[in-house]
Structures are given as C-alpha cells and as structure tokens.
Structure 1
C-alpha cells in the first residue's frame, strides 16, 4: 500500500486566515452543506456569511472584482465562513492572507442533468420572480424541454463540444471551472489545460474537496482536516439527515436512460477524470487519518 502522509495532505496548515471559503459548485448538495455550516456556526462559535442572492450571478470575475472579493473575505472577523458561487480566487496575487478553501464535487453527468432540470423547476422561477419582479418569464417551449430529447435531437443546449467557450452569465456545464480559476485558459470545455490547472488548484489550495456520492467519507475528512469549523458535523448530520437530504431536492426531475448518459459521457472525459481525481484525493485523506500511525510518515 502506498505510504500516506496526513500532514502533507492537509492544506489547512498553509492558510493564514481563520476563515473558511466555500466557493460552492452548483448542484453538488451545497445547500445541505450550507445548512450544516449554519448549525456548526452555533455549535463551534464562528460567524456565518454568504453572498447575497443576485439577479445575474457571474462566476468568472474581472481582476478588480477578484481583488474586491478577496478584500471582503480578508476583512471578515475570525473565525468565519464565507460562501459564494464563484471560481477560485488567488489571494496571494493580491498580497492578502489565504483562507481555508473547501468545496464539493459530484458525478459530472448527474450534475449536468440536475442543473438542466433545476433551472426549469416551477419553484425556482417563483423564488426568482419574487426576488426580482422585473425578470422576464421563460419561454414555455424551453420550460417543457426534456434532457433526453435535448441530447438526442442535437439541441445546442445539450451539445457539449470540445474546446468551446461559453461566455456570459456562467458556464455550468462543468465543475472544474470553479477550481481552475478566472483566466481565459480555464474556459474551453473539456480541455487538458483547464483540467491540469484545476487538479493543481485542488492539490495545492484546497483543504478538502468533498464528494456528494461519498458523503460519510466527506464529513469524516472535514472533521479531521478542518476541526475548528467541522467538529461535530457527523453528529449534526446524523440527527437531521431526513431533513437535510430534502433541501433543494427537485421532484420534477425525470429519470434519464443510461444510453443517453453514455452519449454525454463521451464528451465529458476530462470532467470525469477531474471528478475521479478529487474522489481519489478524498479517499487518501481519509485513509491517512485511519491507518495505524506507523504507516503514516
């Protein structure tokens, strides 16, 4: 068995700010993790902060916006948690102390299907319209679109061409963008360069990147590697699991056949590789804290 070093796998020790920055990927169970952090804030005596709901949520920021965000986070009272849908920000670039980065990933095909139906859910538009009354209502034809037909008909919304860049509000086809960063080199879909940048960011900057499908392992690793904030997280989850698993659950999402999923997988090769990379790292972190001490060097 490969020798595991718990200290080397622990990026929490490299942080210079007692602030957890959860730059959450959409549709990876982040609402559940956000609720856990709300409850942990009371238990473990830290402050909870999240970005306000925005009319247009931009995940890639210009350099001056990145600096502004980094300054806001650096000015938070310690200890605190800050949560926002946004790509990874390099605090060192702005001569600011580095926070404790965490995030969560999900099987990329399941995630893109979840996003497709999430933005079409009736309650999603009711909430958005209540917050921003001037938002136009979506086209009925777009609302009725189903994922399988979208893929099989070659609809542009469900064509995932290699190397294509989608500009505008944000690119929710993939999760590696949230780790790669704000540079243009991170934007081509399923590219080698974006994949390698995202991997390097996870290994060098993130204390923990959890995996939705490995929730118990994720909670255990968070408790071990970021104990100031996550001590007691498994107990809180175990006592509230029935409620927490229903948060933001979309009952309007129909099943998608494996045949259609396989079609999509062909163009998600590097997204799948990134997901497996994060999963392997999480398991290494778990093993490093559970193996006999003599095997951890």
Structure 2
C-alpha cells in the first residue's frame, strides 16, 4: 500500500520549477499572530504519540516555543464544564506560554463556544483500530521500553490477545475499539455512546474542518515532514531529528504478539470495528490527498513542492 501511495504522489503532483532564485527568496518577518500561535495535539493513546511529542520537547528550546502536557485526573478525556472554561481561558490568555504546544489525552474541544478570540491549531495522529487496541492491550500488561520499571495496571496477566478474544474477555471486546471517533467527536454525550453513527459523522466533520493535519502512525515521518513545511515556526528540523532514530523518539510496547487471522476476523464482524475503521479510512484518504498535493517523488524519496502560486495584475499601479 505504501508504494502505491508513493506512486500516487508521483502521478498526482506535477513538478514545479522554481520561479525565483534562492538568493532572492526572503521569509517575511514573524508576525504577532505567529508568535501567539497555539497548537493542541489531543493525542489518542497508542498511536505513536510519545514518539512525536518527544520531538516537540527536543525542538522547543531551539525553536523558542513552549511545550505543556495536559494531565487530567485518571486520564479522563472529558473535562468538566468548569475545567473547559479554565482551559480555554488559559490557552487563549496565557501570553507567557505563547507560542505554545499543548498535548494530552483529551477529547476535541470547540473553542468557538466560549466567546474567546483566536482558535488554536489542532493536529492529531490516528492508527489502524485493531493495531491500536492490540498495542494498548499488551501495554497495560507489560509496559514499554520508554519507562520499563513502571508497574502497569494489568501487570501479571499473561493472557495473550488471541486468548482474550477467544474467551470473550472485556479488555479485547469490540467496545474497546471505540476511542478514535470520540476523541475527534469531542465533548458531547453522543460522542461517547458506543456505535453512534452521529458521533462518527461529527468526528469526520471535525477532522476536515477543525484540524490542520491528521497523520497516521504508519506514516509518521511523512506527517512530520508536512508539519515542518506548514508550521516551520515550531517544527523546523523535526524531520531530520526523527530520521536520526534517537531512542527518545522511539517507544515500543513490550511482549506484543501479532493477533491471529481468526482474532482479527472476529473483531471485524462487529459494527463498532466497521465504524472505527470507516473513520480511519476517512483519515487515511484525507492524509493521502494532502500529501499528494504537497510533495513529489524522485528516486524513491519524497520532496516538498516549492511555492506554486504567485500574485499578478496588482492594481492600482505603484510608481
């Protein structure tokens, strides 16, 4: 599938010639709006969120922005109404923390409802729903190589994911797949009603209308490359940093065993999987669309396109 995506980028995006020589190109000075920019990454668990966030931590001093972790009690992704008000007020008025990169396991929050000026830029990453659930299942039991000494909630349970599925266990039930949709749907009661078609459609609308970019765990490098192009104020140097393969940018769940075809087939029979997978496929198609119109391929590598628009017929004429 990956080679097909590369091919799509090659065929759908026409190579453009540089209209100006490099020494005539000048970046405009940073505007106050850029310096007030806030990014919110409402990270979905087990989607490579720690790997990506660590890049922001490594870049913040060099690129002069602030990184803040949103730590909610018991990792509850839904805030109380009063906490929503506090959070919106903090994000919009905390000038000492601007420009800022906020990250945490919280559901999407619509800032326009609170009567404030200025909205944050939302980004996120999604993952194949079954792969995400398998990773989370083993993470609860064995942890990962990021903090290997930390005791996890299900530590000591040696049952494999396949054994859980075959016995009808609760930790691998289809209901546990219902996570990426409500994270994008937000702070509405219907978002958290498992299997809600309304929640799925709302999540899709938010993805295309409220998120600058939603990447894929399976395509993390391309996601980072596009972010660096779109938001250089924050992500200059991010692609190279990711490619160096430093340990701080990697996090692998320990003792993870791939699920059997039988386990996958059983989960795929549920309407919950079908809806979560529909959302994932929707996000995948949108990401491929953005990438196909932002890059070209040469010798097997992707390169960002140069600016492909300019201004002309500017009136009135200036002497």
Structure 1 residue 217: Cα displacement:
1.8
Alpha-carbon distance in 2 for matches of 1:15, 1:202 = 23
Partner of 1:115: 136
RMSD, aligned CA: 3.0
Q: How many residues are paired up?
A: 267
Q: Do the aligned partners of 1:44 and 1:228 also contact (CA within 8 Å) in 2?
A: yes
Partner of 2:275: 270
Structure of higher CA gyration radius: 2
Partner of 1:145: 159
Using the size of structure 2 for normalisation, the TM-score is 0.74
State the SS of the aligned residue for 2:225.
helix
- Equivalence map 1:121-160=2 (5 Å): 121=142, 127=150, 140=156, 143-160=157-174
Partner of 2:250: 246
Structure 1 residues 82 and 154: CA distance shift in structure 2, 3 A: same
Using the size of structure 1 for normalisation, the TM-score is 0.80
Partner of 1:62: 80
Partner of 1:9: none
Structure 1 residues 216 and 296: CA distance shift in structure 2, 3 A: farther
Q: Do the aligned partners of 1:222 and 1:230 also contact (CA within 8 Å) in 2?
A: yes
Structure 1 residues 49 and 223: CA distance shift in structure 2, 3 A: same
Alpha-carbon distance in 2 for matches of 1:99, 1:74 = 8
User: Which one of the candidate residues 45, 48, 51 is aligned to 2:64?
Assistant: 45
My pick for the range that moved more, 199-208 or 184-193, is 184-193
Alpha-carbon distance in 2 for matches of 1:271, 1:33 = 23
Structure 1, unpaired ranges of 5+: 5-13, 130-136, 162-170
Structure 1 residues 138 and 111: CA distance shift in structure 2, 3 A: closer
Partner of 2:295: 290
Alpha-carbon distance in 2 for matches of 1:42, 1:185 = 40
- Equivalence map 1:163-202=2 (5 Å): 173-202=178-207
